[in-house]
Amino acid sequence: VHVHPENMGNKQTIFTAQQLDAYQDCTFFTRKEILRLFHRYRDLAPHLVPLDYKDNPDVTIPYELIGSMPELKDNPFRQRIAEVFSEDNEGNMTLDDFLDMFSVLSEMAPRDLKACYAFKIYDFNNDNFICKSDLEKTLLKLTRNELTPEEVNLVCEKVLDESDLDNDGKLSLEDFQHMIVRAPDFLSTFHIRI
Amino acid sequence: MGLLSHLGLQELYSASSEEESEEEEEVITEEDMAKLKDQVEEKKKLIATLRNKPSPMKQKLQLLKEAQEFVEKFEGALGKGKGKKFYAYKVMMTKKWMKFQRDFENFKTACIPWEMKIKEIESHFGSSVASYFIFLRWMYGINMVLFGLTFGLVMIPEALMGKPYGSMPRKTVPMSEQDSAMNFATLWDFGGYAQYSVLFYGYYNNQRTIGWLKFRLPLGYFLVGVGTIGYSFMVVIRTMASNANEEGGGDDTSFNFSWKMFTSWDYLIGNAETADNKFASITTSFKITQESILEEQENRKEGNIHLTRFLRVLANFLVLLTLAGSGYLIFFVVRRSQKFAQEGLDDYGWWERNEVNMVMSLLGMFCPMLFDIISPLENYHPRIALQWQLGRIFALFLGNLYTFIIALLDEINLKLEEEKIVKYNITIWEKNLYNGTWLENSTSRPPLDIDPAIVPRGPCWETMVGQEFVRLTVSDTLTTVITILIGDFLRAVFVRFVNYCWCWDLEYGFPSYAEFDISGNVLGLIFNQGMIWMGAFYAPCLPAINVLRLLASMYLQCWAVMCTNVPHERVFKASRSNNFYMAMLLIILFLSTLPAVYTIVSIPPSFDCGPFSGKDRMFDVIQETLDNDFPAWFGQVFTAATNPGLILSFILLMGLAIYYLQATSESYKAANLELKKKLQNSTKEQQVVMWIKKQMELILLISLLLRVPIHPMEEE
């Protein structure tokens, strides 16, 4: 547990009061959690991130450092997660992106919001559809290439069979949401505690 | 569009302000006022739901700023006209209320304990093991509230304002027990000074009001008892309802592969070994699902059905035998303990004194293992085997608990008989004391000046019941601790250190490290809570003891799971529904309140101990309060309301309402199914339409191709 002299007691000198209130309105976090998240962000690259965010400095942490966080380092989709939430879509995240990411992945985020971002994460080629190649990539990441190509093909066919309602050979956001909203495990597995 | 309306309203506002400068009274027309109000409300709603928007943070911050500026600007405008001051006041109060709510939310989240501990467990073991600890934490919260109620409203008032120890017979250790009253063995059994204290029912006096506050203790005692049950029901049902809201459609099997693909990775995993396990289990499950369809077909061909059926019937028979055996054993042991109690406990050692509790705890420990051994006979799919296992453990615990209660009821009846004899003896003893200095039928007696310790006592059956439950809880705790230390810790130490000099690899073969038994632990927790609910009325100290127990349990199990357990190789949830364990808790809550309610309603309270002594039935305290403390008409209304006719018709109405709601929900389900089918059909129709389209395109193409060479031929 780090002790941070800059936010002892109720006085903190990192953000203005309006900034903190705005973050509280835009995420599911409380004031204390936002400050804690800021320090987690800063601990990834203390030389890059200043302690004073009142004038909204333009600071980005490169993907390599984000992907090495203990919460993300074992996740096979960490690169896609970082890409989806980052501003430059390359995985390099500002503090805003960082807060946004953990807010969506937190316990309090509603199902629809999570479904929307899950769709973006599994859409590897960013064409707003989960096509067969996206499914194959997902499956290979999930099983670390242990399945034979026939098995991969079979599973992807089955998935399209089950979820593709408008029958265009790929999953649109509506297809995906329709399927994921009924999944009993979705809320508990699409969740990172920080 | 927002911008345009923004501009439009600005013009309106500036126009109206011009108007205002001309005419002090008329400002904005009613219609524009309403439109403005709507806009402001819309912006407010946007601010409230901004965090649910799937847009990047920068955009959200921008939207927030714009919306807030708009609201600030035009809220002032709305204030003009009638009721300006009141409107401004309302706005200020709303702002203050929102700030208060936000601070309260912050405070509440800061109060949640053990967040980091649970996170560590989640990252090592995944979300299913962590769900046990989250459940434990939730139970701790409920028990804190129950503790607050019993401690604050029952124990503290009596301790502070009631008559002190030694002033009355019920509050003093009898002369015969006084030498052993301070012994550790007696205190451990909750006898001696522990028994004659605020911890148990018997200490409380039946005075209507106590102290300078005129605190109505008997009424408070009764209402706290009812309140603990009511609060527990409310909390459990509220949690079930919110879980049901979040859930999808329940047991749906139409999206198996999609769900496996998109929801099987647990994002909470933060540990390389767990991740490896998870990858392996996902791969296996994909491979198996394809093979299992083939496997099922093969099994059907083999014709092993009769053998499997016979084995399953045999297994169930063995299980029934075990359940019956354990029930009889408990009954036998409780009877034996009554015999011991009658003969006086001095001749017997520790085992005889604690036989009942130890037997119940040991049965709870060993019988599930027995079921585990019998289960391979049945050859079920692991998830179904787990459900059977859970069902059997549930039946075991329930059977044990109810056998215990029936034996307890027997003991209560014995004590009631004893009470009559004691009452008779007391009248004789009192007559001897007075030695004929008063007449038989005189109503006023001179106060007796005797040491309360030598007054003969009735057997206080309520305290006896409370003591039994407290002892059971304590021995249950001890058994859990010992099971963890021996079953998990010693086993892990053995596997770790003896592995160097053992013939086979202990870590991979038998016995290897233990996996955390989620369902066994959850059931244990649920039943422990059931015992608390049953005994809390007779032993107000029980919620306090349970709070300590849960606290110790949390730290011990967190340590044990991190130190001695390995992540599961394959994870099977007992049921797809989150509400499964909640439903069990609700059933136990209901079944626990039955015995307590039965004893309150049908057994007369002891004549010389407890806050209801001297009454015919415990709930008479309500009638007494109505008669004495409320105005006369209130009592009449209440008596009219408890008229059986009215209550029966009310029950009938509720039954009809339940039937109606059930029918509507069935019709909604049917409509849902219809729509699903329609959707499926429409995709099939679309497929056919697409096919036809393709064929027509093909024909058109061919005809175009064929036409081209025809023209030149014709021209020629």
Q: How far apart are CA B203 and CA B208, in angstroms?
A: 15
Is residue B473 a part of any domain in this protein? yes
Is residue A8 a part of any domain in this protein? no
Q: How far apart are CA B520 and CA B270, in angstroms?
A: 26
Is residue A169 a part of any domain in this protein? yes
- Quick one: pLDDT at residue A151? 85
Instruction: Show which of B611, B643, B673 is a domain's final residue.
Output: B611
Is residue B408 a part of any domain in this protein? yes
pLDDT exceeds 70 at position B641: yes
- Quick one: pLDDT at residue B39? 85
Instruction: Find out whether B568 and B277 touch, Cβ atoms under 8 Å.
Output: yes
- Quick one: pLDDT at residue B41? 85
Query: Cβ separation of B57 and A179 shorter than 8 Å?
Result: no
Residues 6+ apart with CB under 8 A from A128: A172, A173
Query: Cβ separation of A182 and B255 shorter than 8 Å?
Result: yes
- Quick one: pLDDT at residue A106? 92
Q: Does residue B210 sit in helix, strand or coil?
A: strand
Query: Cβ separation of A105 and B267 shorter than 8 Å?
Result: yes
Higher pLDDT, B96 or B430: B96
pLDDT exceeds 90 at position B662: yes
b/e per residue, B114-125, with b = 16+ CB within 10 A? beebbbbbbbbb
Q: Does residue B11 sit in helix, strand or coil?
A: helix
pLDDT tier, B215 (very low <50, low <70, confident <90, very high otherwise): confident
**For B53-62, which contacts have Cβ atoms below 8 Å and span 24 or more sequence positions?**
B53/A113, B54/A104, B54/A113, B54/A116, B54/A117, B56/A85, B56/A87, B56/A96, B56/A97, B56/A100, B57/A26, B57/A27, B57/A96, B57/A97, B57/A99, B57/A100, B58/A87, B58/A96, B60/A26, B60/A100, B61/A22, B61/A26, B61/A96
Domain co-membership, A74 together with A146? no
What single DSSP character describes residue B515?
Answer: E
Q: For residue A134, what are the domain limits?
A: 111-189
User: How close A45 gets to chain B, by Cα (Å)?
Assistant: 20
Range in A94-98, B44-48, B179-183 the model is least confident about? B179-183
- Quick one: pLDDT at residue B685? 80
Q: How far apart are CA B7 and CA B64, in angstroms?
A: 18
Preceding amide of B511 cis, omega within 30: yes
Q: How far apart are CA A142 and CA B51, in angstroms?
A: 30
- Quick one: pLDDT at residue B104? 87
pLDDT tier, B244 (very low <50, low <70, confident <90, very high otherwise): confident
- Quick one: pLDDT at residue A92? 92
pLDDT exceeds 60 at position B8: no
- Quick one: pLDDT at residue B20? 43
Q: How far apart are CA B122 and CA B124, in angstroms?
A: 5
* Of B265, B262, B260, B315, nearest in space to B292 by CA: B260
Alpha helices, DSSP H only, in B501-606?
518-535, 542-564, 579-602
Domain co-membership, B42 together with B134? no
Q: How far apart are CA B405 and CA B597, in angstroms?
A: 13
Nearest by CB to A185, from B52, B263, B270: name it.
Answer: B263
Domain co-membership, B316 together with B247? yes
Number of domains in chain A: 2
Is residue A101 a part of any domain in this protein? yes
Domain co-membership, A115 together with A168? yes
Is residue A94 a part of any domain in this protein? yes
- Quick one: pLDDT at residue A35? 92
Domain co-membership, B159 together with B246? yes
pLDDT exceeds 70 at position B15: no
On chain A, the residues whose CB falls within 8 A of the CB of B263 are 180, 183, 185-186, 189-190
Closest residue, chain A, to B687 (C-alpha): A167
pLDDT exceeds 50 at position B9: no
Q: What's A121's domain CATH number?
A: 1.10.238.10
Nearest by CB to B275, from A74, A138, A159: name it.
Answer: A74
b/e per residue, B469-499, with b = 16+ CB within 10 A? bbbbbbbbbebbbebbeebbbebbeebeeee
Domain co-membership, B403 together with B545? yes
Domain co-membership, B548 together with B493? yes
Is residue B662 a part of any domain in this protein? no
- Quick one: pLDDT at residue A78? 92
On chain B, the residues whose CB falls within 8 A of the CB of A89 are none
Is residue B534 a part of any domain in this protein? yes
Cα B656 versus chain centre, distance: 28
Domain co-membership, B101 together with B159? no
Phi, psi of B215, deg, nearest 5:
-75, 125
- Quick one: pLDDT at residue B436? 59
Domain co-membership, A25 together with A99? yes
Domain co-membership, A33 together with A52? yes
Helix then strand count (H, E) for chain A reads 10, 0
Domain co-membership, B535 together with B580? yes
Domain co-membership, A170 together with A145? yes
- Quick one: pLDDT at residue A104? 94
- Quick one: pLDDT at residue B103? 86
User: How close B107 gets to chain A, by Cα (Å)?
Assistant: 9
Whole-model pTM: value is: 0.78
Number of domains in chain B: 2
Instruction: Find out whether B408 and B335 touch, Cβ atoms under 8 Å.
Output: no
Helix or strand run (H / E) with residue B6: helix B2-22
Instruction: Show which of A85, A105, A125 is a domain's final residue.
Output: A105
Instruction: Show which of A105, A139, A170 is a domain's final residue.
Output: A105
Q: How far apart are CA A144 and CA A133, in angstroms?
A: 16
Instruction: Show which of B52, B84, B111 is a domain's final residue.
Output: B111
Is residue A88 a part of any domain in this protein? yes
Domain co-membership, B99 together with B121? no
* C-beta neighbour count of B390 within 10 angstroms: 21
pLDDT in tens, B505-518: 777 777 778 888 88
Range in A79-93, B536-550, B602-616 the model is least confident about? B602-616
Domain co-membership, A100 together with A141? no
When pLDDT is averaged across residues B434-455 and rounded to a whole number, the result is 63
On chain B, the residues whose CB falls within 8 A of the CB of A96 are 56-58, 61
On chain B, the residues whose CB falls within 8 A of the CB of A179 are 255, 258-259, 262
Is residue A129 a part of any domain in this protein? yes
Domain co-membership, B130 together with B62? no
Q: How far apart are CA B466 and CA B455, in angstroms?
A: 23
Instruction: Please provide the size of chain A in residues.
Output: 194
Is residue A12 a part of any domain in this protein? no
Domain co-membership, B330 together with B367? yes
Return mean pLDDT, chain B: 81
pLDDT exceeds 70 at position B711: no
Higher pLDDT, B434 or B549: B549
pLDDT tier, B21 (very low <50, low <70, confident <90, very high otherwise): very low
pLDDT exceeds 70 at position B273: yes
pLDDT exceeds 80 at position B248: no
Best mutation target among B262, B263, B683 (most A Cβ atoms within 10 Å) is B262
Is residue B441 a part of any domain in this protein? no
Which residue has 């012994």 as its token pair? Answer: B183
On chain A, the residues whose CB falls within 8 A of the CB of B261 are 135, 138-139, 142, 155, 159
Q: How far apart are CA B606 and CA B600, in angstroms?
A: 12
Domain co-membership, A101 together with A115? no
Higher pLDDT, B700 or B242: B700
- Quick one: pLDDT at residue B437? 60
Q: How far apart are CA B554 and CA B132, in angstroms?
A: 10
pLDDT tier, B14 (very low <50, low <70, confident <90, very high otherwise): very low
pLDDT tier, B81 (very low <50, low <70, confident <90, very high otherwise): low
Q: How far apart are CA B405 and CA B691, in angstroms?
A: 70
pLDDT in tens, B303-324: 578 888 888 888 889 889 988 9
Domain co-membership, A27 together with A89? yes
On chain A, the residues whose CB falls within 8 A of the CB of B110 are 30, 32
Range in B124-128, B201-205, B278-282 the model is least confident about? B124-128
Distances (CA, A) of B172 to A53, B192, B456, B506: 68, 9, 11, 59
Helix, strand, coil percentages for chain A (3-state, nearest 5):
50, 0, 45
Domain co-membership, A67 together with A97? yes
Cα A41 versus chain centre, distance: 14
- Quick one: pLDDT at residue B175? 80
**CA B594, B596, B599, B604 torsion-angle sign:** negative
- Quick one: pLDDT at residue B572? 60
On chain A, the residues whose CB falls within 8 A of the CB of B254 are 162
- Quick one: pLDDT at residue A105? 94
Query: Cβ separation of A75 and B254 shorter than 8 Å?
Result: no
Is residue B60 a part of any domain in this protein? yes
Instruction: Find out whether B227 and B539 touch, Cβ atoms under 8 Å.
Output: no
Instruction: Please provide the size of chain B in residues.
Output: 716
pLDDT in tens, B150-166: 999 999 988 888 888 87
Q: How far apart are CA B519 and CA B371, in angstroms?
A: 14
Higher pLDDT, B504 or A158: A158
pLDDT exceeds 90 at position B19: no
Angle at B121 between CA B119 and CA B124, to 5 degrees: 110
pLDDT exceeds 50 at position B705: yes
pLDDT tier, B230 (very low <50, low <70, confident <90, very high otherwise): very high
User: How close B513 gets to chain A, by Cα (Å)?
Assistant: 23
Phi, psi of B56, deg, nearest 5:
-65, 160
Helix or strand run (H / E) with residue B565: strand B565-566
- Quick one: pLDDT at residue B290? 66
pLDDT exceeds 50 at position B23: no
When pLDDT is averaged across residues A115-131 and rounded to a whole number, the result is 92
Is residue B628 a part of any domain in this protein? no
Percent of chain A with pLDDT over 70: 95
On chain B, the residues whose CB falls within 8 A of the CB of A184 are 247-248, 576-578
Domain co-membership, B126 together with B159? yes
pLDDT tier, B299 (very low <50, low <70, confident <90, very high otherwise): low
Nearest by CB to A151, from B265, B290, B683: name it.
Answer: B290
On chain B, the residues whose CB falls within 8 A of the CB of A147 are 283, 286-287
Domain co-membership, A100 together with A125? no
Domain co-membership, A98 together with A149? no
- Number of CB pairs, chain A paired with chain B, less than 8 A apart: 175
When pLDDT is averaged across residues B220-238 and rounded to a whole number, the result is 92
Domain co-membership, B208 together with B287? yes
What is the amino acid identity at position B40? V
Beta-strand relationship, B565-566 and B514-515: parallel
Q: How far apart are CA B231 and CA B240, in angstroms?
A: 14
Q: For residue B546, what are the domain limits?
A: 115-297+309-343+353-432+457-611
Domain co-membership, A98 together with A120? no
Closest residue, chain B, to A87 (C-alpha): B56
When pLDDT is averaged across residues B676-692 and rounded to a whole number, the result is 79
Closest residue, chain A, to B274 (C-alpha): A74
Angle at A23 between CA A18 and CA A29, to 5 degrees: 130
ipTM of the complex: 0.89
Distances (CA, A) of B677 to A165, B259, B670, B686: 12, 20, 11, 14
Closest residue, chain B, to A114 (C-alpha): B54
pLDDT in tens, A20-39: 999 999 999 988 899 999 99
pLDDT exceeds 90 at position B147: yes
